[in-house]
Amino acid sequence: MRFLRLLPLILALLLLPGCLRQTGQGRRARTLSPEASRPGAAGPQEAGALNPGAAPNPAWPALALLKAGDNPLWFELGPGGPELIDSPGSASLTPYTPWPHARFISGILHWEDYIVMAVNRDGFLILGPEPNGEAEPGNSSLLMYRAADSAFWDPYTTESLFIWEDRPAVLLYRNDFFTHELPLAPGNQVFVLDKTSPLPLASRIPALEIGDPWEAEMLRQGADGLWYYRMREKDIDQAESAFFRTDDLSRPGLRISDEEWRQSFLPDSFLPEGPEPEEPGGPADSEPWLSSLPELPEDFVYTAMALLGNVLIASWEEEQLPAIGAAGFMVILHEY
């Protein structure tokens, strides 16, 4: 559920979450923060195979028990995790920062009984049922977890939330469009959310490992079921990008043209992640979901939605393209 971000500025097809603009009273203007280079951090732990005998309760730190109701619960993303606020209009006056270096929700994914959100420069936020609870209509109580390693993730851009080896995964990469002072290479670019670890774990995708100076910047599965990914040279002058396609990420992909890469992006409907409720005449279209969203102040947009049981989760951000100010997510009870 992401559209092209900065298409007039970036020919390399950087993605923008599909957004619905809801207008209202705005807030005072922000300044664009200067982007500073940040040094790399010590390496993280690596992921192993899934442990079928692991305890059912996840090892992620639980932050809060949320009781969704008719009034939305608003959260802003802060340096130490999400913070409860009255509304986006009362969010902190975060300086506008070029989006690769801002803190925002870069993707939402439905996984097992959880909604997983990838947070740029931080880690994963997870919403799920209470232990021994059920994620189904009628249960409006959700536990919020955070599996983050911001000390390591902070210098990098978080991209491409997807499933790898039955776990949510993201790419971390060095975005060189807004700065030429790059941090150290992250080493492992792929990180997974594992129930047995309180922190994201490093992993490997063989198809992406084509050697220096290439670094993966985006990975997605097309409507045809094939995997498409973009690689870019780093730490050299006049760096180039290359595009690949494969049906199996465990082996090298086939290089494709720029046009084939662009054609792999099909418009995504603005529908929430998770099961769609059935309505008379067939599956629901987007209109009932959009009408469920509270109005946002001017310059704020919703970027993605997800449904868990009868709870609707929507990410939002304050935009002045190519920059983002405040960002966060909203939780509200949704009646079918």
pLDDT confidence bin for 87, thresholds 50/70/90: very high
Contact 331, 127 (CB under 8 A): yes
As a whole number, mean pLDDT of residues 251-259 equals 93
Tell me: pLDDT of 152 over 50.
yes
As a whole number, mean pLDDT of residues 313-323 equals 93
Q: Which is more confidently placed, 139 or 245?
A: 245
Contact 47, 199 (CB under 8 A): no
Q: Supply 221's token pair.
A: 């599965």
Tell me: pLDDT of 43 over 70.
no
User: Is the pTM here over 0.75, yes or no?
Assistant: yes
Contact 270, 286 (CB under 8 A): yes
d(CA 127, CA 306) in angstroms, rounded, equals 11
pLDDT confidence bin for 45, thresholds 50/70/90: low
In the chain, where the domains are located: 2-35+60-79+94-333
Nearest to 88 by CA among 75, 69, 102, 103: 75
d(CA 336, CA 320) in angstroms, rounded, equals 34
d(CA 80, CA 75) in angstroms, rounded, equals 12
Q: What is the mean pLDDT of the chain?
A: 79
Nearest to 110 by CA among 335, 327, 320, 313: 313
Tell me: pLDDT of 83 over 70.
yes
Cα→Cα distances 35→7, 17, 84, 101, Å: 21, 22, 27, 8
Tell me: pLDDT of 18 over 60.
no
pLDDT at 36: 31
pLDDT at 196: 95
* Residue 207 main-chain phi, psi, to 5 deg: -60, -25
pLDDT at 290: 62
pLDDT at 184: 80
Lowest mean pLDDT among 20-29, 74-83, 165-174: 20-29
pLDDT at 8: 32
As a whole number, mean pLDDT of residues 62-90 equals 94
d(CA 308, CA 71) in angstroms, rounded, equals 17
pLDDT confidence bin for 267, thresholds 50/70/90: low
Lowest mean pLDDT among 31-45, 70-84, 171-185, 289-303: 31-45
Tell me: pLDDT of 88 over 70.
yes
d(CA 170, CA 164) in angstroms, rounded, equals 9
As a whole number, mean pLDDT of residues 206-224 equals 90
Q: What percent of the chain has pLDDT over 70?
A: 73
How does pLDDT run across 184-198, given as a tens digit for each residue?
Answer: 888 889 999 999 999
Judged by phi (left if over 0) then psi (alpha if -120 to 50, else beta), residue 154 lies in alpha
DSSP assignment string, 28-85: ----BPPP---------PBP----TTS-SS--SPEEEEEE--SSPEEEEEETTEEEEE
pLDDT at 280: 31
pLDDT confidence bin for 204, thresholds 50/70/90: very high
As a whole number, mean pLDDT of residues 288-310 equals 85
> Residue type for 93, please?
L
Contact 302, 314 (CB under 8 A): yes
Contacts of 267 (CB under 8 A, 6+ apart): 3
Tell me: pLDDT of 49 over 60.
no
Tell me: pLDDT of 205 over 90.
yes
Q: How far is CA 135 from the centre of its chain?
A: 21
d(CA 26, CA 296) in angstroms, rounded, equals 9
How does pLDDT run across 53-75, given as a tens digit for each residue?
Answer: 444 689 999 999 999 888 999 99
pLDDT confidence bin for 210, thresholds 50/70/90: confident
